[in-house]
Amino acid sequence: MFTWLKSVFSVFGSKPAIIRGAGKLEEGFAKKIIFGDPLAGQGVEVILCRVEGRLEALDARCPHEDGQIIEGPLHEGRYAICPLHNFWFDPKNGDVVNSACKRAKTYKVREADGDCEIWL
């Protein structure tokens, strides 16, 4: 199969991971979710955030010097925090709002019936 065709199928044929009970995440808070085994290089850590009534998801790795975006209350109820340099990330698009750091990776999320689906 052609490489580009494999890429197309991987994008459109992927299935989401399901996070049961994610609908209980309170407004203005973030929760770390671990998929697979990140320590073995075979997993992903995601920060799931509730902002303006919607669930949003960021990669837990800060793009600057391997910091970690943390769970807990969001700064001003809307920004995920990397405490290494006090960077604030907008969970909607991954943009940093208070520095010149690169954008954090975001993931597509869909909420339904108290659970959510996330495409990694």
Gap between the Cα atoms of 72 and 75, Å rounded: 9
**Is 92 among the domain residues?**
yes
Each residue of 44-67: b (16+ CB within 10 Å) or e? bbbbbbbbeeebbbbbbbbbbeeb
* 34-65: pLDDT as tens digits: 999 887 888 899 999 999 999 999 999 999 88
Q: Give the domain extent around 78.
A: 25-105
Question: Tell me, what's the pLDDT at 90?
Answer: 98
The count of structural domains within the chain is 1
**Is 112 among the domain residues?**
no
The mean per-residue pLDDT over the stretch 87-113 comes to: 95
**Is 79 among the domain residues?**
yes
* 13-41: pLDDT as tens digits: 589 999 999 999 999 999 999 999 887 88
**Is 118 among the domain residues?**
no
CB within 8 Å of 120: residues ≥ 6 apart? 16, 17, 35, 44, 46, 107
CATH of the domain at 32: 2.102.10.10
pTM score, whole prediction: 0.85
